A and B are shown apart, each in its own frame.
Chain A
Amino acid sequence: MKKKAKNIGVRADVNNRNKWCAVPYYVWMIIFIVVPLVMVVFFSFTDSDYHFTTANYEKFLTRGANGELIYVTTLLRSLGLALIATLICLIVGYPVALILSSKRIKRSDLLITAIMLPTWMNFLLRTYAWMTIIGRNGLLDTLLALIGLGPVEMIGTNGAIILGMVYNFLPFMILPIYSVMAKMDHSLVEAATDLGANPLQVFLRVKLPLSMSGIATGITMVFMPAASSFVIPNLLGGNKVSMIGNTIEDQFKSAGNYNFGSTIAMILMVCILLSMLIFNGKGDKEEMIM
Chain B
Amino acid sequence: MAEKVHLTNEKIIELKGINKSYGSNKVLDDINLYIRKNEFITFLGPSGCGKTTTLRIIAGFEQADSGEVLFKGKPINDIPPYNRSVNTVFQKYALFPHLNVAENIAFGLRIKKKSKKEIAEKVEKMLELVGLAGYGKRSIDSLSGGQQQRIAIARALVNEPEILLLDEPLAALDLKLRKDMQLELKKMQQQLGITFLYVTHDQEEALTMSDTIVVMKNGVIQQIGKPTDIYNEPKNAFVADFIGESNIVHGITPHDNVVIFGGAVFNCVDKGFAQGENVDVVIRPEDFIVTDEAAKSSVVNGSDILRGEVTSNIFKGVHYETVVKCGWYEWVLQNTISHEKGDRIGLRVGPNDIHIMESEITPTPTRTNLLVGKVYEEGVVEVAGHRFSCPTTGYGEDEDVDVVIRPEDIVVSDNEDDMFTGTVESCIFNGEQYELVIKANDCEWLAYSDVVRDEQTFVSMSIADDVLFVMPKETSHGAVNHFTATVTAADTIEICGRKLKVAAPRDDIGAVVSVSVRPQDVYVVDPGNGVFEGTVADVEYKGIYYNVYVDCGDGLICKVRANEEWDRSEKMGLYIHPLDIKFD
Which A residues are closer than 8 A to B by beta carbons?
10, 12-14
Contacts and interface: CB of A to CB of B under 8 A. Distances in A.
A9 to B, nearest CB: 9
Interface stretch (B58-66, B329-337, B362-370): B58-66
Contacts, number: 13
User: Looking at chain B's contact residues, is the secondary structure mostly helix, strand, loop, or mixed?
Assistant: loop
Contacts of A14: 60-62, 80-81
A12 B22 CA distance: 10
B82 to A, nearest CB: 10
A64 B63 CA distance: 70
A49 B63 CA distance: 55
B56 interface: yes
A190 B49 CA distance: 45
Contacts of B63: 13
B22 A10 contact: yes
B54 to A, nearest CB: 14
Contacts of B80: 14
Nearest to A12: B61
A20 to B, nearest CB: 15
Interface of B: 22-23, 56, 60-63, 80-81
A14 B78 CA distance: 11
Contacts of B62: 12-14
Contacts of B81: 14
Nearest to B59: A14
A13 B56 CA distance: 10
A251 to B, nearest CB: 50
A12 B60 CA distance: 10
A179 B22 CA distance: 38
13 contacts: A10-B22, A10-B23, A12-B56, A12-B61, A12-B62, A13-B61, A13-B62, A13-B63, A14-B60, A14-B61, A14-B62, A14-B80, A14-B81
A10 B62 CA distance: 11
Contacts of A13: 61-63
Contacts of B23: 10
A111 B61 CA distance: 48
Nearest to B57: A13
A58 B195 CA distance: 79
A14 B56 CA distance: 10
Nearest to B63: A13
Among B60, B62, B81, the most chain A Cβ lie within 10 Å of the Cβ of B62
7 smallest CB-CB distances across A and B, nearest first, come from A13-B63, A14-B61, A10-B22, A13-B62, A12-B61, A12-B62, A14-B81
A10 B61 CA distance: 12
Nearest to B81: A14
B69 to A, nearest CB: 13
Given A12-B62, A13-B63, A14-B62, 10 more contacts: A10-B22, A10-B23, A12-B56, A12-B61, A13-B61, A13-B62, A14-B60, A14-B61, A14-B80, A14-B81
Contacts of A12: 56, 61-62
Contacts of A10: 22-23
Nearest to A9: B22
A12 B57 CA distance: 10
B526 to A, nearest CB: 52
A276 to B, nearest CB: 34
A12 B63 CA distance: 9
A13 B69 CA distance: 15
A10 B23 CA distance: 9
A14 B59 CA distance: 10
Nearest to B64: A13
Nearest to A16: B63
A10 B26 CA distance: 13
A35 B23 CA distance: 33
Interface centre among B23, B61, B81, by most A CB within 10 Å?
B61
A13 B80 CA distance: 10
A14 B82 CA distance: 11
Nearest to A17: B80
A12 B80 CA distance: 13
A16 to B, nearest CB: 8
A14 B77 CA distance: 12
Nearest to B60: A14
A12 B20 CA distance: 12
B351 to A, nearest CB: 48
A200 B346 CA distance: 70
Contacts of B60: 14
A148 B80 CA distance: 84
B442 to A, nearest CB: 56
B86 to A, nearest CB: 13
B342 to A, nearest CB: 46
A64 to B, nearest CB: 61
A10 B60 CA distance: 16
Nearest to A10: B22
A39 B273 CA distance: 77
A12 B81 CA distance: 12
B219 to A, nearest CB: 14
A8 to B, nearest CB: 13
A168 B459 CA distance: 82
A70 to B, nearest CB: 56
A1 B302 CA distance: 71
Nearest to B82: A14
A96 to B, nearest CB: 38
A18 to B, nearest CB: 13
A120 to B, nearest CB: 30
Nearest to A15: B61
A14 B60 CA distance: 7
Nearest to B25: A10
Contacts of B22: 10
Contacts of B56: 12
A10 B52 CA distance: 14
Nearest to B62: A13
A12 B23 CA distance: 13
A48 B63 CA distance: 56
A183 B516 CA distance: 83
B467 to A, nearest CB: 55
A14 B22 CA distance: 14
B65 to A, nearest CB: 10
B123 to A, nearest CB: 27
A14 B64 CA distance: 12
A10 B63 CA distance: 13
A23 B248 CA distance: 56
A13 to B, nearest CB: 4
A39 to B, nearest CB: 38
A145 to B, nearest CB: 63
A210 to B, nearest CB: 34
